[in-house]
Amino acid sequence: MISKARLKKLAEEHGTPLLVVDHDELRKNIRAFRRYLPRVQPYFAVKAGADPAIVRTLFEAGSSFDVASMPEFELVYDNIRDMPARERQQWIWDKIIYANPIKPVETLAELDQYKPLVTFDNLDEIEKIRRHAPRAGLVLRLKVSNTGAMVELSSKFGAPPAEAVDLILEADRQGLVVEGVSFHVGSQTTNFENYVEALNLTADIYAEAQSRGYTKMNLVDIGGGFPAPYDSTVRPFRELARIINSEINRLFPKHIEILAEPGRFFVATAGYSVSKIIGKSVRDGKPSYYLDDGVYHTYSGQIFDHCKYPVKAFKRGRTRLSAVFGPTCDALDVISMADPLPDLARDDLVYSEMIGAYTWASATTFNGFSPAKVVHVNQ
Ligand SMILES: *Cc1c(COP(=O)(O)O)cnc(C)c1O
């Protein structure tokens, strides 16, 4: 937790727009994850907040990583410090999963030397992997229900359950090894039933594969989706963990390794943004403020991630519903049409909390405005 006074001081020191990452909070989140889900090894989904300092802190705290592109793979690989090259080679599956079911052949060719663990969900990908990364271990990505998730992730990826075992057997026929099954229940999932359904479906796939003679699977990857506590409607993580623990222990024998790919859950609460009012007007009778940060930058999560980040003032005073805009010329660059704010002046600072996931990671340089400077504290 970073105090308002410290945030303000950091902004005065570094300028705005600013994004502050609290590494104590990163460590707290991974500790909670490992404590409540003791059987599950977390692979941090790097896309939620791709940064070498974050990778290092989470690695030291025991995290592995989920990557989805060659630059993400290299970001992780280069930052797995204190590990001799030979050991890295053996540890690669323990530390990295390449969890994008569709991979360019150039990427597969480059990945092959690492004997990576990669996901797939279709016939053409099996063919690609056989030709370009035959040393890879495979994980079948299953299409599962995303009901009630803030961000839907099943329309683009995942094999239909009815085709899953056929794909596993085809990969086997082509000389590849399928190590297990993965799924993603949708990001910011507050409908915990999705995990129960997906785990039961996975157990069915395991049973069908076994009955058709395939017995090499030994891992289940339960994906991401673990919700950040953005507001009081999100039930506590330990409740979700209790449900997941009871299902995995009931459905999968002890020797089956359980992986997860939390993204948002690790970084959301660790991020704070501070920006400055660069202009002020009254539009349709409403106080309207223009910031040096907006939806093309740190607030990009409001577009891509369907998440809302309330803007708060350091100043106190009687509040009025106010509009808050970003600095670009695009009328889409609206942070809020109704945030309760006191009367603010040009050069005043404002901030947002829990803005660490899918925010600065998807910032652009549109219209010539640079993304926020990222500052790490409590490293
Ligand atoms: C984005 C993504 C994640 C992370 O999801 P969160 O909801 O942020 O936990 C995990 N796995 C895959 C395959 C993803 O695409």
Note the pLDDT tens digit of each residue in 124-138.
Answer: 999 999 999 999 999
Cβ(187) – ligand 1 distance below 6 Å: yes
CB atoms within 10 A of CB 193: 13
Distance 13 CA to ligand 1 centre (A): 34
Note the pLDDT tens digit of each residue in 170-189.
Answer: 999 999 999 999 999 999 99
Note the pLDDT tens digit of each residue in 332-343.
Answer: 999 999 999 999
Shared-domain flag, residues 331 and 199: no
Pocket test for ligand 1, best of 29, 44, 47, 266 (most atoms within 8 A of CB): 47
Shared-domain flag, residues 243 and 302: no
Shared-domain flag, residues 192 and 274: no
Shared-domain flag, residues 190 and 316: no
Split into its structural domains, the chain has a count of 2
Q: Choose the final residue of a domain: 267, 301, 323.
A: 267
Q: What is the CATH number of the domain that holds 141?
A: 3.20.20.10
Q: What is the CATH number of the domain that holds 329?
A: 2.40.37.10
Shared-domain flag, residues 225 and 101: yes
Note the pLDDT tens digit of each residue in 269-314.
Answer: 999 999 999 999 999 999 999 999 999 999 999 999 999 999 999 9
Confidence of residue 86 (pLDDT cuts 50, 70, 90): low
- H-run or E-run covering 353: none
The residue range of the domain holding 300 is: 4-19+269-377
Residues with a catalytic annotation lie at 329
Shared-domain flag, residues 227 and 308: no
Q: Give the 3-state secondary structure of residue 86.
A: helix
Shared-domain flag, residues 176 and 256: yes
- pTM, two decimals, is 0.96
Backbone angles phi, psi at 53, to 5 degrees: -65, -40
Q: In which region does residue 4 sit, left (phi positive, over 0), alpha (psi from -120 to 50) or beta (all else)?
A: alpha
Q: Choose the final residue of a domain: 242, 267, 292.
A: 267
Cβ(333) – ligand 1 distance below 6 Å: no
* Measured distance CA(268)–CA(26) in Å, rounded: 9
Give the residue among 65, 80, 111 at the shortest CA–CA distance from 259. 65
